[in-house]
Amino acid sequence: MVIVMVIPSFSQEAESPEADAPEAVESTEAAESTEAAESTEAAESTEAAESTEAAESTEAAEYTEMPEMEEVPAVAEEDASTAYADTVNVISRVEVIESPEQTRVTLGKNEVVIIEENGDTVVVALGSKGISIVEEDEGVQINVIDMEDRKKSCRKKNKKFNAHWAGLELGLNNYLTPDYSMVLPPGQEFMDLNTGKSWNWNLNIVDYGIGLGTNYVGLVSGLGFEFINYNFDGQNSLMKDPVTGEIVEYIPPFAGYITKSKMNIAYVTAPLLLEFQIPAGNRRIHFSAGVIGGLKMWSNTKMKYTESGDKSKEKNKSDFNLSPLRWGVTARIGYADINLFANYYMTSLFKTDRGPELYPFTVGIALVP
């Protein structure tokens, strides 16, 4: 008896699931890893996008907050070439001007700040008000000032015409004949002068100037005193003739011993001048011409002599037929406080037909502070 057993062949098919199991596990893990990676990348991409958007939003906000800037105009080359050396232009609106007297800052046509320095004083002006800072020995003094009043005061001061008459003058005297000669005719030799010792000095105590619309040209007047010393060259003096009343030579008994013989005359004087002034640095050159009048105050003669070793003097007071009023022409030129002057009188020294016909003149130097 034969028994036949049929064993189905499924061993390979049964192994297949067991063999495929690890591959399935691996595939599942790969899929999960891929999904995780994709999820991480998506998260990172989202965060980056959000960060980028935040940064862009911040930049936009910052850009929005910035004020809009005006376009700076270019400065033309010709404007720069014509600017002053002490002037600085900033964007064609702000201008800084420096000079030895002051520094000015302007905005357009308006003055913003003015700084003035004058010795120990500094003035800082802002608009219509200012501060004056003065350094003194006792300390620093600070004052608030009104600039409008200061400007008015400065304008009045700048327009003032300063005359050059008052002061002290020193010169030399002599006189001319009618034909403008210093050589005296016969019979008048007793009037010969020692010019080097015939001094004239004038004290002009006050002057007054009126500017003719400017402080460079004006009329000048004033008041002064003139003291004249005519020092005679011979051993003589002069006197009134007791018969004719004319001025004649006087020879004293002590002639030959005279050491000094002179005639002194004093006048009150007043001028009327036209004066011109030309700026020269910080000072001015000034020259003037006009007429001058005089009123005689007093006159005398004086002689000094030595006789037998004794010094003596003789003095006589009289009007000596001198012209009580006289007028003449004058010319002056100077710089700063120094003047040269010349006076020539058109009135004879003595009254007509009462003495020699002589016309006095004076040249000299003056100090006019």
pLDDT in tens, the chain (369 residues): 434 444 444 444 434 444 444 444 344 444 454 454 454 454 455 554 454 454 454 444 444 444 555 554 554 444 444 444 455 555 555 566 766 666 666 656 555 556 665 556 666 666 666 676 777 666 677 777 676 666 656 555 556 899 999 999 999 999 999 999 999 999 999 999 999 999 999 999 999 999 999 999 999 999 999 999 999 999 999 999 999 999 999 999 999 999 999 999 999 999 999 999 999 988 999 999 999 999 999 999 999 999 888 999 999 999 999 999 999 999 999 999 999 999 999 999 999 999 999 999 999 999 998
Provide the 10 A C-beta neighbour count for residue 142. 10
Q: How many CB atoms lie within 10 A of CB 342?
A: 15
CA dist., res. 226 & res. 60, Å (int): 93
Beta-carbon-side half-sphere exposure of residue 80 (alpha carbons within 13 Å): 6
Asked whether the beta carbons of 328 and 343 are under 8 A apart, the reply is yes
Q: How far apart are CA 303 and CA 310, in angstroms?
A: 14
| 224 touches 267 (CB < 8 A) | no
Which phi and psi angles does 266 have, rounded to 5°?
A: -125, 140
Distance from C-alpha of 206 to C-alpha of 216, rounded to nearest angstrom: 20
What pTM value is reported for the model? 0.59
